[in-house]
Copies of this chain bind each other. A is one copy, B any other.
Amino acid sequence: MDKADIRDYRRWHREAALRARAAGFDLIYVYCRAGTSMNGDFLSRVMNRRTDEYGGSLENRARLLREVLEDTHAAVGDTCAVAIRFTVDFAVGPGAETDPEETRDIVEMFAELPDLWDVNIREWRRDSMPSRFGPEASQENLVAFVKGITSKPVVGVGRFTSPDTMVGQIERGVLDFIGAARPSIADPFLPQKIEQGRIDEISECIGCNICVSADYTIVPMRCTRNPTVGEEWRKGWHPERLPAKRSEDGILIVGAGPAGLEAARALGERGYSVTLAEAGDELGGRVAHECRLPGLAAWGRVRDYREQQFTRLGNVEVYRASALGADHVREFVMPHVVLATGASWRRDGIGHQHDVAIAGADGTDGANAANLLTPDDILAGARPTGPVLIYDDDHYYMGGLIAEQLRADGLDVTLVTPAADVSTWTHATLEHRWIEQRLHEIGVTIIEKHALAGIGPNAKAGIGPNAVEIAHVISGRRRTLAAASVVLVTCKISNDALYHELTADWDALAAAGITSVTRIGDCLAPSTIAAAIYAGHRYARELDAAPPDGVPFLRELPELGPF
């Protein structure tokens, strides 16, 4: 950037501030985030190699930030507040450890210039830490010093979900305002509920970062906790208010996983009489199992919150240890039957990479079927003998988590995946680097870009039962690995036998007074927990109010300019 470039940059920033004010904004930000803003890069000793008055000493490196802050104040400061978004560990580049002394100097230099300090840490994956890898309020020790320097209000983030933690931050003088994007997605009435003392009613963020994935996959945002997010206008779904029931129809829900739990809760809120039958001893379905895996304890909230709401509601009757067959379902004589019976991991290896069963995956041909496992077995407590090979053709968190669990159990673990990265879909949830780093640290052997060619002797003549053959997905080159057990993490298949059994005989259903049988969640189409929660909620909304004909939601229609 030469001086003309710097002049242009300042002018554009000023014009942007004026446009923002014209558009009605009250608070205008000056960004100074390491690695993602000009102001931040100028501050950095490593990135800033200038030899003019914008480089060298801290005063020089901070010159552009000062100018932009002053420009913004001059442009809009009479009616707008001007905030600074400041990354406290702004140094970037190899060998560029953050210098806390210099960070302090910068905050002191600009202490009273902005009207608000918005402080955080660099790299989105660290700033929006998934719960699996970091606790609530994890930025406190990095940002707490700012309030000691400025008299202006300070706001910070850190996946604040617990009112006690938030109040603690204020009372101990760490922050003046609590920033909480993900928790507000999970519960838009979070501040109101705290104010009114309705703590039990808060739907707490579980830190799964499925919300973030929408940014990477260019789809509408979803939230595991709050199925109404993004549908407030499109479908008219208020986050808290549900329409009252329109009939006295009873509803039988089979399966108390995420979809069944949310359908029961939302129908209960609407005033319907709901019977929820769960085959197992505990509620939660996959969530009950998965929240026991390393780092996923917070995910249990998906179940706990709803269990709690059932107690309050009174019109949701819950039966545990109640596996229902078709006869049992008909005996309930309820007009509406909802099947939320979940899904199971496939045992034949079919998945993204494999359209047909993997040779040997059926346990024949000398492979020992007892040593072929799926995540369902591991989640149910089974432990294979080592060395164990985990084949991840699912690409979300499960393969990496099973590897972490089995390594913690002391096994020798190799993770093979056809993708270029382990748990590659977790790039979209900001978890990927954390996951791969942890797998390296705990000593899991990772083999990327290889597909499972065969298990047992079928793989290749002369290979014993405890061997697996893999092939490079592009070159096709084959290798043989020793493995006493194989865990197939490929894809899931719906548990829909009961649905097919019921719907095979509509006369019997009619005789039992059943008018509708509906699959929801994984029982219809295996997906994320967020998708199951959404499906349960949608069922409850649409039971007696079918969506309109045509496009079943409001949408934007492009109007062509000029404007």
B-binding residues in A (CB < 8 A)? 2, 4, 46-47, 92-96, 218, 233, 354-356, 420-421, 424, 433, 436-437, 440-441, 448, 472, 474-475, 477, 500, 503, 554-563
Contact = CB atoms under 8 A, between A and B. Distances in A.
Contacts of A563: 555, 557
22 contacts: A2-B500, A2-B503, A46-B355, A46-B356, A92-B355, A93-B356, A94-B355, A233-B560, A420-B420, A420-B448, A433-B474, A437-B474, A440-B472, A440-B475, A440-B477, A441-B475, A554-B562, A556-B558, A556-B559, A556-B561, A557-B560, A559-B559
B557 A93 contact: no
A355 B420 contact: no
A209 to B, nearest CB: 19
A436 to B, nearest CB: 5
A132 to B, nearest CB: 17
A525 to B, nearest CB: 11
Given A356-B93, A500-B2, A558 B559 contact: yes
A218 B562 CA distance: 23
Contact of A47 (B355, B436, B440, B558): B355
A418 to B, nearest CB: 12
A249 B47 CA distance: 42
| The 10 nearest A-B residue pairs measured at CB | A93-B355, A556-B558, A420-B420, A440-B475, A554-B561, A559-B559, A436-B474, A557-B559, A420-B421, A554-B562
A399 B93 CA distance: 23
Contacts of A421: 420
Contact of A561 (B93, B94, B472, B555): B555
Contacts of A441: 475
Given A440-B477, A556-B560, A558-B559, 18 more contacts: A47-B355, A94-B354, A96-B355, A218-B218, A420-B420, A420-B421, A420-B424, A433-B474, A440-B472, A440-B474, A448-B448, A554-B560, A554-B561, A555-B561, A556-B558, A556-B561, A557-B559, A557-B563
A184 to B, nearest CB: 23
A357 to B, nearest CB: 10
A563 B554 CA distance: 8
Nearest to A355: B93
Contacts of A503: 2, 4
A459 B46 CA distance: 20
Contacts of A433: 474
Contacts of A472: 440
Given A355-B93, A356-B95, A500-B2, A558 B560 contact: no
A557 B218 CA distance: 19
Contacts of A555: 561, 563
Contacts of A2: 500, 503
A420 B449 CA distance: 9
A239 to B, nearest CB: 20
A471 B92 CA distance: 19
A55 to B, nearest CB: 15
Nearest to A496: B2
Nearest to A424: B420
Contacts of A436: 474
A472 B437 CA distance: 11
A233 B562 CA distance: 10
Contacts of A354: 94
Contacts of A448: 420, 448
Q: Which of A355, A441, A503 has the most CB of B within 10 A?
A: A355
A441 to B, nearest CB: 8
Nearest to A499: B2
A501 to B, nearest CB: 12
Contacts of A558: 556-559
Nearest to A453: B94
A354 B46 CA distance: 11
Contacts of A233: 560
Contacts of A437: 474-475
A231 to B, nearest CB: 14
A50 to B, nearest CB: 14
A97 B500 CA distance: 34
A347 B436 CA distance: 31
A118 to B, nearest CB: 25
A236 to B, nearest CB: 10
A93 B475 CA distance: 17
